[in-house]
Amino acid sequence: MKNILVTGGAGFIGGNFIHYLLQNRSDCRVVCFDALTYAGNLETLGEVLDNPRLRFVHGDITDRGAVYRLFEEEGFDAVVNFAAESHVDRSIDTPEIFLKTNILGTQVLLDACNKFQTKRYHQVSTDEVYGDLPLDRPDLFFTEETPLHTSSPYSASKASADLLVMAYYRTYSTPVTISRCSNNYGPYHFPEKLIPLMILNALEDKPLPVYGDGKNVRDWLYVEDHCRAIELILEKGRVGEIYNVGGHNEKQNIEVVKTILKALGKGEELITFVRDRPGHDRRYAIDPAKIHRELGWLPRTSFDDGIQKTMDWYLKNRAWWEHIRSGDYQNYYEKQYGMRL
């Protein structure tokens, strides 16, 4: 049975990855290490917190002492690093925490892998490290060879971490892999990001704030497809390699917003164009040919199915997002663990 460290597993993609592993991999035991920042929510793991194959540890990846103690205790077979500050708008207001968590936190984990001879370190990165593409060149896509060209403090911090990961591979032969994925959507997505924000505002008949002209393009991937890509990279990916992950699902923001309104039976008068994000990337588009060719990965969920499943999930799981909106989720750790510590 493999012992896997998942950092940032109380967040959106890390949480989905833990559910995915526990459901699909009976050979895995998972340790979730998460600082429970505003974006971390133990209710995301609620159903599986009592699973004997999951251990939750509250901690910060920049805390070298805590990370080393955990590695010593657990002797991990693999580390998958999802822990990050992930919201571009917040990085524009407060860049420093992005540099600390996303770069220095990555370095601590890499050092721990070297010290304890972990067999694989996987860095969960983003297509945002490539910058953006012009709207009038639909023939252009990001490949793994596209130069890094970042726009926001968030993407700059993720690109810095990627450079560090590759430097550790070259210098110390740390067995690393990197995945660079396009925008994810699906269950447990924190409601400050585009898709969940628009679903929840529409449900509550609140204005839907679209930045700029709404024509910015994102390449949307259902989160479970991303989880499967990471599983494949851990199993069959070549050490020292970068894999782009994306589903050729390019949509303008305004199209996404209109799809949500239509499906929820709400009118387009809720759409409100607001001041644009500074440095706003125009278009992201991933070429996933390498992961398809080498590992046989292809996305399984179309955008139409995925967005419907996502809306259904938010409709059925009101308590999850109502607790976030009211701030109650931040007391959950105390409620869940206070008596056990």
Please spell the DSSP secondary structure of 315-333, one letter per residue. Answer: HH-HHHHHHHHHTGGGGHH
Residue 242 found at the interface with ligand TYD (CB under 6 A): no
Catalytic residue chosen out of the listed positions 34, 128, 132, 224: 128
Residue ranges with strand state E in the chain: 2-7, 28-34, 54-58, 78-81, 120-126, 176-181, 184-185, 208-211, 217-219, 221-222, 241-245, 250-252, 271-274
Residue 179 binds to ligand TYD (criterion: CB under 6 A): no
Q: Binding residue for ligand TYD (CB under 6 A) from 101, 216, 244, 301?
A: 216
Active site residue 127: yes
User: What distance in Å separates the CA atoms of residue 292 and residue 27, rounded to the nearest whole number?
Assistant: 25
Binding status of residue 209 toward ligand TYD by CB under 6 A: yes
Per-residue b/e over 42-66, b at no fewer than 16 CB within 10 Å? bbbbeebeeeebbbbbbbbbbebeb
Two tokens, residue 253: 């923001």
By CB under 6 A, is residue 152 in contact with ligand NAD?
Answer: no
Minimum CB distance to ligand TYD smaller for 68 or for 211: 211
Residues with Cβ within 8 Å of 206's Cβ and at least 6 positions away in sequence, in order, are 270
128 is catalytic: yes
Which of 156, 161, 197, 229: binder of ligand TYD (CB under 6 A)? Answer: 197
Rounded distance between C-alpha atoms, residue 54 and residue 260, angstroms: 35
Pick the stretch among 33-41, 108-116, 145-153, 247-255 that binds ligand NAD (CB under 6 A). Answer: 33-41
Cα distance between residue 192 and residue 237, in whole Å = 33
Which residues within the stretch 78-117 sit at the binding site for ligand TYD (CB under 6 A)? 88
- From the candidates 127, 132, 224, 281, which is the catalytic residue? 127
Stretch of 8-16, 274-282, 288-296, 298-306 lying at the interface with ligand NAD (CB under 6 A): 8-16
Residues forming the site for ligand TYD (CB under 6 A): 88, 183, 193-194, 197, 209-211, 216, 218, 253, 277
Q: Known catalytic residues?
A: 127-128, 154
Residues forming the site for ligand NAD (CB under 6 A): 7-8, 10-14, 34-37, 39-40, 60-62, 82-86, 101, 105, 124, 126, 158, 181, 183-184, 190
